[in-house]
Structure 1
Amino acid sequence: MQGNNLHEVATRAIFKRMDEIAAQCGDRFPLFRRSADGLWTLSTRGSWLGGFWAGLWWRRAAYTGSADDHAVAEAWSGRLAPLLCEPSINRSFVFWYGTAIGHEKHGKDQASQQLANQAALAISESFNPVLGGWMSGSGLGAGELGTRALNVDALAPTLALLHGHGGQKETARARQHLQTCLHYLATEHGAWRTNAVLDAGDGGKQEAAGAWPRGQAWAMLGMAEAVRLFGEAYRHPALQACAYWTERWGGASQPAERSGLQRPPQDLSAHVISATAMLNLSRLIPGQHWLYHQAHMQISAVLDVTDVVETGQFVGHLYHVGPDDEQLVESACATFFLLENLINL
């Protein structure tokens, strides 16, 4: 089985898997499932992952055209409202993927539009004009350090949410935040740092660049949004970030094939996030055909080394399930980006 047929089978398998998860989680959000466990870790509020669960249903509703799927998506979106006041930039994950794309895919969905508008305004109010952007914030477990930490993860949904659901002030702040991220997190060679701790009056404390593949993938997704929203000025750093990813993690041998050898688990979620970024950029920047081919190769490799086609289960998100315990898990976040690629390819 090849090409579009394989993608269609995998897409339908993910939809079936969503039904299985929904039957287990009831009215609570599924956060993650360890590969060795049958049960999901659930949350009443959803944390930063909850928006992706709602987003999966919006994506499914857009694909199937089903009124039932739309109703489920709308119901999950409504349950995200308590996170509007959470002091965290990761609210943009929640409300871009969990509500705004509902309005994008179903233009008459006023409830999701209203929540997205409220989220854009709430996030805008936490803008730090002295540091020139949004810090991670103390919420969702980040603590006091989060109030001074600039982080790349939520760059894409922050730009999209503030530009699409705010006014001129929010759009201007989004662009300033982008410039601050470029200044502190990007390098001239295309590698990105995940974090920088900033203090007013100094240059900030930065971590090593290009050390974490998912951080680089989030940066690529953010730069794809920058090109979409703000144009040609961001073309070069966007392509540089993709070239760095491809050179370091995007070869034909990545992800590694199944074997009996003991080796560190690969974060396959980084591969599907980076593929989403490259697909988006391939539409925005004419002539960069390598972006499409690289994304296609990565998604084919992910399907080869997982059971997604057979079961719809994508155990590919390297996640801290405890303070000193990082494991590959199944999550709505990783599954959302895999589904995006399957549909868009």
Structure 2
Amino acid sequence: MQGQNLHQVAIRAIFKRMDEIAAQCGDRFPLFRPSADSLWTLSRRGSWLGGFWAGLWWRRAAYTGSAGDHVVAESWSARLAPSLREPSINRSFVFWYGAAIGHQQSGKGQATDQLANQAALAISEDFNPALGGWTSGSGMGAGELGTRALNVDALAPTLALLHGYGGSEESTRAQEHLQTCLRQLATEHGAWRTNAVLDANDALKQDVAGTWPRGQAWAMLGMAEAVRLFGEAYRQQALQACAYWTERWGGTSQPAERTGLQIPPQDLSAQVISATAMLNLSRLIPGEHWLYQQAHMQISAVLDVSNVAETGQFVGHLYHVKADHELLVESACATFFLLENLLNL
């Protein structure tokens, strides 16, 4: 089974898996599940992953046209509201994927529209003029270090949420944050750092660029959003980030020589996030056919090494289940981006 048929089989398998997860989790958000014989770690509020669970249902509702799926998506979005008060930039993950995309797809959904508006304004209030952007913030488990860290992960949903659901001030701040990230986290050859941390003297200490594939993938997604929202000025930097990814992590195995962190090859979440970025860019920059081809190759490889088409389970997210312990898990985040690619391809 190849091409579109395999994609359609995998899409239906993911939808079936969503029903199974919902039956296990009740009214709590599923965060992650380490293995086939373990239970889901659940959350009433959803942490930063909750928006992806709601987002999966919005994507499903758009695909099936089912009124029942739409109701389920709306109900999960409504449960995200307590996170509006969380002091974290990762609220943009929650409310872009969990509310804004639902409003955009349905063309109605006043409640989701209001949630997205409220989130954009709440995040905007935490803007740091001295930094020229947002730190990660102390919420969602980041602690004190988060108040001093400029981080790349939430760049794409922050740009999208503030530009799309804030006013002119929020859009201006979003672009200023983008410029700060480019200045502090990007390099001229396309590799991105994950963090820059303020020390006691307010100087930014940067980590090594290009060492963490998922960080590079988040950067690519952010730059694709920058091109969509702000245009040609960000085209070259977006393409450079994708070219760096393709050269270093274009397959599903890691290069022999690594710098810094030792990343196991199984972190397929980085593959699906980067593929989403390249597919988005391929629509925005005509003629760059390699972006589509690379994304297609990566998703085919992910389907080859996983059993998603049979079970709907995508155990592809390398996740800190404890402070000092990373484990490969099933998560709504990784599954969301895999589904996004399957639908787009």
Structure 1: gaps spanning 5 or more residues: 257-262
Distance in 1 between residues matched to 2:267 and 2:18, nearest whole Å: 22
Backbone CA RMSD of aligned residues? 1.4
5 Å-filtered alignment, 1:114-133, equals 114-133=114-133
**Do structure 1's residue 50 and structure 2's residue 50 form an aligned pair?**
yes
Question: Does the aligned pair in 1 maintain the 2:116–2:165 contact within 8 Å?
Answer: yes
Paired position in structure 2 for 1:146: 146
Paired position in structure 2 for 1:233: 233
**Do structure 1's residue 186 and structure 2's residue 159 form an aligned pair?**
no
Question: Does the aligned pair in 1 maintain the 2:253–2:265 contact within 8 Å?
Answer: no
Question: Does the aligned pair in 1 maintain the 2:279–2:291 contact within 8 Å?
Answer: yes
**Do structure 1's residue 283 and structure 2's residue 322 form an aligned pair?**
no
Paired position in structure 1 for 2:111: 111
Question: Does the aligned pair in 2 maintain the 1:255–1:266 contact within 8 Å?
Answer: no
Distance in 2 between residues matched to 1:292 and 1:305, nearest whole Å: 20
Paired position in structure 2 for 1:293: 293
5 Å-filtered alignment, 1:307-322, equals 307-322=307-322
Other structure's SS at 1:30 match: strand
Question: Does the aligned pair in 2 maintain the 1:254–1:301 contact within 8 Å?
Answer: no
5 Å-filtered alignment, 1:83-102, equals 83-102=83-102
Please report how far the alpha carbon of residue 126 of structure 1 lies from its aligned counterpart in structure 2 after TM superposition.
0.2
Question: Does the aligned pair in 2 maintain the 1:93–1:158 contact within 8 Å?
Answer: yes
Other structure's SS at 2:150 match: strand
Cα distance per residue 1:65-119 (max 9 Å; x no partner): 0000000000000000000010000000000000000111011111100000000
Other structure's SS at 2:147 match: helix
5 Å-filtered alignment, 1:226-265, equals 226-251=226-251, 254=253, 264-265=264-265
Paired position in structure 2 for 1:72: 72
Distance in 1 between residues matched to 2:245 and 2:172, nearest whole Å: 29
Other structure's SS at 1:187 match: coil
Question: Does the aligned pair in 2 maintain the 1:51–1:80 contact within 8 Å?
Answer: yes
Distance in 2 between residues matched to 1:113 and 1:254, nearest whole Å: 41
Paired position in structure 2 for 1:155: 155
Question: Does the aligned pair in 1 maintain the 2:121–2:166 contact within 8 Å?
Answer: yes
Question: Does the aligned pair in 1 maintain the 2:254–2:265 contact within 8 Å?
Answer: no
Cα distance per residue 1:126-178 (max 9 Å; x no partner): 00001100000011111111111000000000000000000000000000000
Worse-matched range after superposition: 141-150 or 81-90: 141-150
Paired position in structure 1 for 2:3: 3
Other structure's SS at 1:209 match: coil
The percentage of counterpart residues that share the same residue type is 83
Please report how far the alpha carbon of residue 38 of structure 1 lies from its aligned counterpart in structure 2 after TM superposition.
3.4
Please report how far the alpha carbon of residue 202 of structure 1 lies from its aligned counterpart in structure 2 after TM superposition.
5.0
Please report how far the alpha carbon of residue 36 of structure 1 lies from its aligned counterpart in structure 2 after TM superposition.
4.5
Distance in 1 between residues matched to 2:31 and 2:254, nearest whole Å: 24
Distance in 2 between residues matched to 1:190 and 1:153, nearest whole Å: 16
**TM-score (normalised: structure 2):** 0.96
Please report how far the alpha carbon of residue 198 of structure 1 lies from its aligned counterpart in structure 2 after TM superposition.
2.6
Question: Does the aligned pair in 2 maintain the 1:220–1:277 contact within 8 Å?
Answer: yes
Distance in 1 between residues matched to 2:41 and 2:201, nearest whole Å: 42
Distance in 1 between residues matched to 2:88 and 2:231, nearest whole Å: 28
Residue identity in the other structure for 2:269: S
Other structure's SS at 1:140 match: coil
Please report how far the alpha carbon of residue 281 of structure 1 lies from its aligned counterpart in structure 2 after TM superposition.
0.1
Cα distance per residue 1:293-319 (max 9 Å; x no partner): 000000000000001000000000000
Paired position in structure 2 for 1:259: none
Please report how far the alpha carbon of residue 31 of structure 1 lies from its aligned counterpart in structure 2 after TM superposition.
0.2
Question: Does the aligned pair in 2 maintain the 1:131–1:199 contact within 8 Å?
Answer: no
Distance in 1 between residues matched to 2:208 and 2:322, nearest whole Å: 24
Other structure's SS at 1:244 match: helix
Other structure's SS at 1:69 match: helix
Distance in 2 between residues matched to 1:201 and 1:207, nearest whole Å: 17
Change (3 A) 1:142 1:291: same
Change (3 A) 1:272 1:307: same
Question: Does the aligned pair in 2 maintain the 1:49–1:333 contact within 8 Å?
Answer: yes
Distance in 1 between residues matched to 2:272 and 2:54, nearest whole Å: 19
Paired position in structure 1 for 2:170: 170
Distance in 1 between residues matched to 2:33 and 2:5, nearest whole Å: 28
Question: Does the aligned pair in 2 maintain the 1:131–1:200 contact within 8 Å?
Answer: no
Question: Does the aligned pair in 2 maintain the 1:30–1:41 contact within 8 Å?
Answer: yes
Please report how far the alpha carbon of residue 35 of structure 1 lies from its aligned counterpart in structure 2 after TM superposition.
2.1
Structure 2: gaps spanning 5 or more residues: 256-262
Question: Does the aligned pair in 2 maintain the 1:61–1:69 contact within 8 Å?
Answer: yes
Number of residue pairs aligned between Structure 1 and Structure 2: 338
